[in-house]
Structure 1
Amino acid sequence: ATWFFMHSAQSKPVAAPQIAAISKQPAVFEPLLPAFVVNYNQNGRQRYMQVNITLLGRDRADLEALKVHMPVIRNNLVMLFSGQDFATLASPVGQEMLRQKATASIQEVAHKELGKVVIEQLLFTNFVLQ
C-alpha cells in the first residue's frame, strides 16, 4: 500500500527549492580610503588603532550613491572607533563587536539617505593596535 501511494501516477514530484531565484548578485567591494587612525590614552600611555575598511555590497550603483554620504559615514565611524575601550579592542571578540557596530552604523546612514541598507558587511582588511 505504501508503494502504491508513493509511486502512483497521480502523485506529483515535490518541487525543489528555487535556489536560482534566491541567489545573490556577485560581491562588490569598495575600500574606504584613507585608513582610519584613532588615538587612545590608556594608563597614561598614548596608543593608537589603524584600521583599513572595505565595504561589501551587491550593487555597484548603490555603492556609488553611498559615496555622496561618505563624510557622514566617516564621521560616524571615527566617533564610534574613538569611543571604544582600547583593551577590549585587543581581543578578537572586541574587534568583531566593533566590526558589527560599524556595519550597523553604515547601514543606518544608507537606509536613512537611500532607503536601503546597501552594504551587507564592513570588513576590516587591516587592523593594527599599538
Structure 2
Amino acid sequence: MARPTPTSAPAQAAPKSAKPKGRKLWLVILGALGLASAVGAGAWYVTFQREASAAQAPKPKPPVFIALEPFTVNLQPGGDAQYLQTTVVLRTTEPDTETAIKAHMPVVRDRILRVLSSQRGEALLSAEGKEKLAAEIAAAVTTPFDGERPQAVDAVLFTSFVIQ
C-alpha cells in the first residue's frame, strides 16, 4: 500500500473542515439573532404590561385637610395639669366628608370637646396618650350625623398641643 503524500493529506482535510466552520458560523449567527429577538420581545412585553397596569390603577385622591378652631378645655382632676389647649386638623380624601363636617361643625366641635374634657393630663403627656386621644377623636367625628353615612376621616392631626 502506498502511503499518502504529505501534500495530499492537507488537501483532503481542508474540504472537510470548511463545511463545518461555515455551518457553525451560521448556527452561531442564527442563535444570536434568536436570543436578541427573545430579549427584545421580553422587554416589549414587560414595558407593555407596566403601561397597561399603570393605566388601570386608580390614581389616589389628594388629601383634604380640615382645620378646626383651637380648643381649650379643663382636664379631669388628678395631677398638676388642669388645662389643655390644642389645635386639631382632620385629614380625609373624600369631598363628601369635608362637606358633611363643615355643615355639621357645631356637632363636630361638641363631640371633640367632650372627648378632650374627659382626659387626664398625665395620660396625655406620652406619645401613646396622644395617639389614643387621636383615635378617640376620630371615632367621635366619624359617627354618622342624623342618619347619614359615616364620615371617612383618615387621620386626626394635632398642630399645637399645650398642657398646663
Both proteins in one fold, TM over 0.5: yes
Give 1:103's aligned residue: 138
**Within 1, Cα distance between the matches of 2:59 and 2:139?**
23
| Percent pairwise identity | 28
* 1:20-42 deviation line (CA, Å, top 9, x unaligned): 63442011111011x01111233
With a CA cutoff of 8 Å and minimum separation of 6, indicate the structure with the bigger relative contact order: 1
Taking the aligned partners of 2:104 and 2:56, their CA distance within structure 1 comes to 33
Q: C-alpha separation between the residues in 2 aligned to 1:30 and 1:71?
A: 14
Runs of at least 4 residues off by over 4 Å: 13-20
Q: Which runs of 5+ in 2 are unaligned?
A: 1-37, 39-44
The one-letter amino acid of 1:118's match is A
Deviations along 1:64-84, one digit per CA (max 9) or x if unpaired, are: 232111111111111111111
Q: Any conservation in 2 of the 1:39–1:46 contact (CA below 8 Å)?
A: no
8 Å CA contact retained: 1:47, 1:129 = yes
Count residues with an aligned counterpart: 120
> 2:158 aligned to 102, 118, 124, which one?
124
2:68 to 28, 32, 35: 32
Classify 1:92/1:63 alpha carbon distance in 2 versus 1 (closer, same or farther; 3 Å).
Answer: same
Cα offsets for 1:44-85 (capped at 9, x unmatched): x56211110111111345302321111111111111111112
The structure with more strand, counted as a fraction of residues: 1
Q: Which runs of 5+ in 1 are unaligned?
A: 1-6, 8-12
Q: C-alpha offsets along residues 75-128 of structure 1, whole Å, 9 cap, x if unaligned?
A: 111111111121101111001100011011111135x65414232111111111
2:92 counterpart residue number: 57
Instruction: Supply the RMSD in Å over aligned alpha carbons.
Output: 2.8
Note if contact 1:56-1:119 (Cα within 8 Å) is conserved in structure 2: yes
Give yes or no for the alignment of 1:94 onto 2:112: no
The 5-angstrom pairing of residues 36-47 of structure 1 reads 36-40=71-75, 41-43=77-79, 47=82
State the SS of the aligned residue for 2:82: strand
| Mapped partners of 2:92, 2:113: distance in 1 | 21
- Note if 1:71 corresponds to 2:106: yes
Q: How does 1:3-14 map to 2 (within 5 A)?
A: none
Q: 2:62 corresponds to which letter in structure 1?
A: P
